[in-house]
Amino acid sequence: MKYVLTGDQTERLNFRLLEERDFEDWKPLFESTDTARFLGLDSSKSVDELCTHWFKKQFNRYENDLGGMNVLIDLSSDRLIGQCGLLVQQIEGRERLEVGYSILPEFWNKGYAKEAAMHCRNQAFELGFTESLISMIHAENIASERVAKHNQMELEEHLPSYEGIPVNIFSISKDRWKSLENEVL
């Protein structure tokens, strides 16, 4: 599977594929209606329906070489804390590679999204997957914007409607990333 970083590790995280057994652990992500809205999902659906949709979408990505979200396991507790990965996206007729991330609410504000997103960015460039990366973020999702900015991405454009939701697209080129190699990030 191209773009999937299974088996990778960071200082605090282990990356692995999403599995059916993760369903119950992942449901708390959808208990907030903002999360469903930020992900472009129908917030009127039940938590089980939203989680089922999410799992189908991820398994479809794996099966069709469209990248995919890796489950993030905290190395110290062995608990599932979120997902992050490289995703193939079609934006205005152009294929782009995205760093996507979602962290369970219990683990927000602990730097996990930043750590995982930075690892995905570095791997995408080091492995020669792309010359530029994006993070596509709901226009009201300030926390995810902070992660993109920490990942040294800059606002590229605002789309008033991408699949029905307003998004800001943040990006970084491989050349810009290379220029940051000597900086402390």
**Tens digits of per-residue pLDDT, 83-114?**
999 999 999 899 999 999 999 999 999 999 99
In this prediction the pTM is 0.94
Average pLDDT over residues 41-52: 94
Question: Which residues have CB under 8 Å from 27's CB, separation 6+?
Answer: 47, 48, 51
What is the CATH class of 13-180? alpha beta
pLDDT digits (tens, 9 = 90+) for 131-172: 999 999 999 999 999 999 999 999 999 999 998 899 999 999
Q: Return the domain boundaries, the chain.
A: 13-180
Residue 183 has pLDDT above 70, yes or no: no
Q: What are phi and psi of 123, to 5 degrees?
A: -65, -40
Q: Are 102 and 29 in contact (CB under 8 A)?
A: yes
Q: How confident is the model at residue 185 (pLDDT cuts 50, 70, 90)?
A: very low
DSSP state, 111?
S
Helices (H), the chain: 23-26, 33-38, 47-63, 112-126, 142-150, 174-180
